[in-house]
Structure 1
């Protein structure tokens, strides 16, 4: 009888270990899957002020980071203030990466059915990226729902990136300590000179360079249309469309460093 009891206890112990191992493996797989997801933010705004000119998210500022990150095994979701199909600008399919993205059936469907902020669970993402395009200056700075998502991702040791006019989306974001996200960090974005060069310095609600400095950012820049990417404390910013690919590479490098 004692031998039977011993065997029964041993069997139960082995079964318990197997169940625990299975649970831990499943949890690890779930965590690994979650940590491979990145959220891209795109604008829902489609007009450049009162000019009547169309705008939206700038295609290459989505496609080039997307290409770098998807090739490295990351999955990307899209969110916009209104959800659904966001307007697109910079629609140039002579750019092979733009063409690759636009003709990808999975991601074309994803971006044309972007999530609403209320549909996003920040815990599912290790990073969040703001694409630019002039529309971003109008609707992203005031979006408190997306700002809350950014704060949760960043404070969970995630990474925030933004390119060109995309940093407009982070100028008003505050952390739980009450400080602006960009306060005291090196940062860049579309320069005043570049805004003048495209003739929209009197049209945009604010000049991005000025606002980044006003919020305490340590602003960096290069010349017109020069590639420039800045990395500081899990915040990655790129100056213009020409910086989109390098920003994607910098974001990947930061994620790989954090995963070690």
Structure 2
């Protein structure tokens, strides 16, 4: 009798081990399709491509969580990335991964894909996505099929351009009546002017036209919208969160990843713009954890769109934090403009005079100083 009980116990343990092994196998067998623009791969002419930074960050999230990955583009084959920094840690990790680089060098064409192979699709951004992805009917069908078979659809930055003409079986647009976002009109006007004149549409406008409930955060700050298996991110800083939300939507508990300097820096900026002055002290306490020059450049751009006294002050705070590290007369003039906008003409004049003490012929400083009535 005792032997029989022991045998039953052993069998139960074996069954539990087998069951757990099957669950693990199923989670590690899940495959995600990553889609990149192939528009940059044009002979004899400059053309925008996909964002390697976004590809790298998203891929590393999927790899870290044991997801299989295929890469596709509208035409298949080789694809061209926009200019990027290969020394970034996340880019280095991907560039030295021969298996994924081989797939990136020979992408699948969207016409040869089968939706049943994928638990989700992640569409990488980059200006090229505005040109070829919206026109790809094969891609539209794959996205619709993955979504309708209860899969996850995710896109970041300009990647949501691939969604604007995706229709479901009932004839409705995929994005209709869903929270959605992507690169905003404001961001485009500040950072996308080189190619914007060639766009067939503005992404924010088209998503709204298709019935999407567009939402966003301040320029270049992380924002992710999640609704009904649709996950969209506003800009490059949203990439990791979009990829992580896709992992979570597949029923997998995401493994923690080390944060990246650029994402930490934008997170700090978001804290400051939200009124958390502890962010200033955090930067001063650990400057090596952040990109101080990026803080200054953000403040420079932020002043260009600022409309309130609070926003002028935020821009001034950001630029002042980076003032010494950057030591740039153009930034100094922008600081003077911010000081002027908050009503401190004397501080603005002092800033301009300090520039002219070392650069007496610096025209932007001379021009602005001549307009100040003290």
TM class by shorter chain equals: 0.7 to 0.9
CA contact (8 A) 2:30 2:67 kept: yes
Cα deviation, residue 54, structure 1: 3.4
CA contact (8 A) 1:163 1:239 kept: yes
Show the counterpart of 1:193: 186
Q: Mean Cα displacement is larger for which, 168-177 or 114-123? A: 114-123
Show the counterpart of 1:230: 225
- Tell me the alpha carbon deviations over residues 180-235 of structure 1, each in whole angstroms, 9 at most, x when there is no partner: 00000000000001111122432322110000000000000111111111111000
| Corresponding position: 1:213 with 2:208 | yes
Show the counterpart of 1:82: 75
- Tell me the alpha carbon deviations over residues 94-118 of structure 1, each in whole angstroms, 9 at most, x when there is no partner: 2211111122100000111100123
Higher helix share: 2
Alpha-carbon distance in structure 2 between the residues aligned to 1:84 and 1:102: 18
| Corresponding position: 1:73 with 2:66 | yes
Show the counterpart of 1:154: 147
Cα deviation, residue 90, structure 1: 3.8
Alpha-carbon distance in structure 1 between the residues aligned to 2:102 and 2:239: 22
User: TM-score, normalised to structure 1's length?
Assistant: 0.83
Cα deviation, residue 148, structure 1: 0.8
CA contact (8 A) 2:173 2:210 kept: yes
CA contact (8 A) 1:187 1:236 kept: yes
- Return structure 1 stretches of 4+ with deviation > 4 angstroms: none
| Corresponding position: 1:134 with 2:127 | yes
Q: How many residues align?
A: 231
Show the counterpart of 2:91: 98
Q: Secondary structure at the match of 1:45?
A: coil
CA contact (8 A) 1:35 1:126 kept: no
CA contact (8 A) 2:41 2:80 kept: no
Alpha-carbon distance in structure 2 between the residues aligned to 1:139 and 1:163: 16
Alpha-carbon distance in structure 1 between the residues aligned to 2:241 and 2:27: 25
Cα deviation, residue 91, structure 1: 2.1
CA contact (8 A) 1:60 1:90 kept: no
Alpha-carbon distance in structure 1 between the residues aligned to 2:160 and 2:83: 18
Show the counterpart of 1:203: 198
Q: Tell which has more relative contact order, 1 or 2 (C-alpha 8 A, sep 6+).
A: 1
| Corresponding position: 1:38 with 2:32 | yes
What RMSD over aligned residues (CA atoms) do the two structures have, in Å? 2.4
Alpha-carbon distance in structure 2 between the residues aligned to 1:194 and 1:145: 29
Q: Secondary structure at the match of 2:251?
A: helix
Alpha-carbon distance in structure 1 between the residues aligned to 2:157 and 2:41: 17
Instruction: Return 5+ residue gaps in structure 1 as ranges.
Output: 1-24
- Tell me the alpha carbon deviations over residues 96-147 of structure 1, each in whole angstroms, 9 at most, x when there is no partner: 1111112210000011110012321210100001101101111111111111
Cα deviation, residue 166, structure 1: 0.2
Cα deviation, residue 35, structure 1: 5.4
CA contact (8 A) 1:47 1:135 kept: no
Cα deviation, residue 252, structure 1: 1.2
Alpha-carbon distance in structure 1 between the residues aligned to 2:88 and 2:143: 30
Choose 1 or 2 for highest CA Rg.
2
Q: Secondary structure at the match of 2:154?
A: strand
Cα deviation, residue 53, structure 1: 4.2
Alpha-carbon distance in structure 2 between the residues aligned to 1:67 and 1:135: 22
| Corresponding position: 1:55 with 2:37 | no
CA contact (8 A) 1:41 1:80 kept: yes
Q: Mean Cα displacement is larger for which, 181-190 or 96-105? A: 96-105
Alpha-carbon distance in structure 2 between the residues aligned to 1:81 and 1:160: 17
Alpha-carbon distance in structure 2 between the residues aligned to 1:216 and 1:83: 31
Higher strand share: 1
Instruction: Return 5+ residue gaps in structure 2 as ranges.
Output: 1-18, 254-374
